């Protein structure tokens, strides 16, 4: 059975997007296929998974990696009254086989960079919520910018919003984010998503001007429900 390297399992609340404040278990996978210049999350493979058995206690048990889906399911199901289980990272789609075997009491909430469509096909029927990022990275960080965009659009098509699954798009906006590229990709995926979240980057020296965000929001409102939501968990210091 497929095993995975997990850096953390804990219970907290969602801090980004339209489900801000909802209680979730978080399963943070290691490893990522991208190298985002604003990323503040360690993605290196670790020897142990840090498991916070009591939410908010800041007391962690070290569980040896890699882990089986059944073990992660036990850890997650120990938390009562969850809205959903956030599969985050790193990039969780790298562990699609693991996710296919994961059984949890609460529905699965995928947080993905949406660049691995072949993996997305393997788990699309397991996922109830999709928080799909559009990574508008400098071309210097991408081997093939056009292929990167094509894969992103294809992932949204595969994991699109349906009666059984919500799918929304989240775009982290920096002061250097190219507006024309945002407009192009949003136009391509607007039929697949329930809403668009413009998220100003947390790092102060990279943040866009408020006027830029408001202008972007206005340009998209005719096509898709568009909201500006920063990272709220950073405001009150939760995981």
In DSSP terms, 165 is beta-bridged to none
Q: Which two tokens stand for residue 190?
A: 């607007």
d(CA 203, CA 210): 14
Domain boundaries, the chain: 6-236
Pick the CATH number of 6-236 from 3.40.250.10, 3.20.20.70, 3.40.50.300, 1.10.260.40: 3.20.20.70
CB-count burial class (<10 Å; 0-12, 13-18, 19+) for 204: exposed
Q: Which two tokens stand for residue 7?
A: 């850096």
Cα→Cα distances 163→13, 113, 149, 228, 234, Å: 24, 23, 26, 25, 32
Is residue 38 within 8 Å of residue 201, measured between CB atoms?
A: yes
pLDDT values of the chain reduced to their tens digit, one per residue, 239 residues: 589 999 999 999 999 999 999 999 999 999 887 776 666 666 678 899 999 999 999 999 999 999 999 999 999 999 999 999 999 998 999 999 999 999 999 999 999 999 999 999 999 999 999 999 987 766 666 677 788 889 999 999 999 999 999 999 999 898 888 788 888 899 999 999 999 999 998 888 889 999 999 999 999 999 999 999 998 887 777 76
Cα→Cα distances 38→41, 42, 103, Å: 9, 12, 33
Question: Which pTM value belongs to this model?
Answer: 0.93
């Amino acid at each position: 059975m497929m095993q995975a390297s997990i850096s953390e399992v804990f219970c907290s609340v969602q801090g980004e997007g339209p489900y801000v404040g909802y209680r979730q278990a978080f399963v943070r996978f290691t490893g990522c296929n991208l190298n985002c210049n604003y990323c503040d999350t360690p993605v290196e493979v670790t020897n142990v998974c840090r498991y916070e058995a009591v939410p908010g206690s800041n007391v962690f048990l070290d569980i040896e990696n890699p882990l089986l889906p059944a073990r992660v399911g036990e850890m997650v199901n120990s938390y009562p009254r969850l809205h959903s289980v956030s599969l985050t990272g790193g990039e969780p789609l790298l562990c699609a086989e693991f996710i296919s075997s994961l059984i949890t009491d609460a529905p699965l909430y995928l947080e993905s960079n949406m660049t691995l469509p072949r993996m997305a096909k393997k788990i699309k029927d397991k996922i109830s919520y999709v928080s799909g990022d559009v990574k508008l990275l400098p071309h210097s960080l991408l081997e093939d910018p056009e292929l990167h965009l094509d894969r992103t659009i294809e992932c949204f098509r595969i994991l699109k919003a349906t009666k059984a699954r919500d799918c929304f798009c989240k775009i982290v906006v920096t002061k250097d984010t190219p507006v024309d590229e945002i407009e192009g990709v949003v136009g391509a995926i607007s039929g697949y998503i329930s809403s668009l979240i413009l998220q100003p980057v947390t790092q102060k020296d990279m943040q866009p001007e408020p006027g830029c965000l408001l202008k972007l929001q206005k340009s998209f409102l005719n096509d898709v429900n568009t909201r500006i939501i920063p990272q709220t968990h950073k405001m009150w210091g939760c995981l």
